A and B are shown apart, each in its own frame.
Chain A
């Protein structure tokens, strides 16, 4: 079920090209991650819509292969 951090980052960037992605492996087990995603694409969007953009980039993996992803989003300063 595990997924390498680099793969998560690549998938998010494929969906949101300008995204700055910071991944933290929370448990050191390759299965529980935190992702902080910064993108101009989030500007003016409510949080739910911002998170949906990231989930869309991750596609079917979210909630399946990628069980535990703590997600925070932000617009660049």
Chain B
């Protein structure tokens, strides 16, 4: 396991809900990241974000970590859930709300 994999594993296992994104929740730097933040804000759950633009090692490492080529990436309880398109599909179907509640993540 490379160093970046170890760092990413620590982040995803140390936070119930974490979004790897471009920019910050307040200032997303990409439309897809912005959409992901909007969904999480709408659901009202507590989440952490990691700005991959501030960390090249994580920016590259996160793509191989879940074999997923794009950012943002959402992790819940250490598991990769999807990118912004999957978040949106799940949200529109009511599945994301259900999934989070099944995982014991309550709206703040």
Helix, strand, loop or mixed for chain B's interface?
mixed
Report Cα–Cα, A51/B85, bound state, in Å: 9
Q: Is B32 an interface residue (CB 8 A)?
A: yes
Task: Pick 7 A–B contacts, CB within 8 A, sort by A.
Answer: A48-B80, A48-B86, A52-B68, A55-B69, A62-B69, A63-B63, A70-B32
| B63, A47: Cβ atoms closer than 8 Å | no
> Could you tell me the dominant secondary structure of chain A's interface residues?
mixed
Q: How many chain A residues touch the partner (CB < 8 A)?
A: 11
> B69 contacts A48, CB within 8 Å?
no
Complex CA gap A47/B68 in Å reads 12
Structural contact, A68 and B31, CB atoms closer than 8 A: yes
Contact B85 A63 (CB under 8 A): no
Q: Is the CB of A62 within 8 A of B70?
A: yes
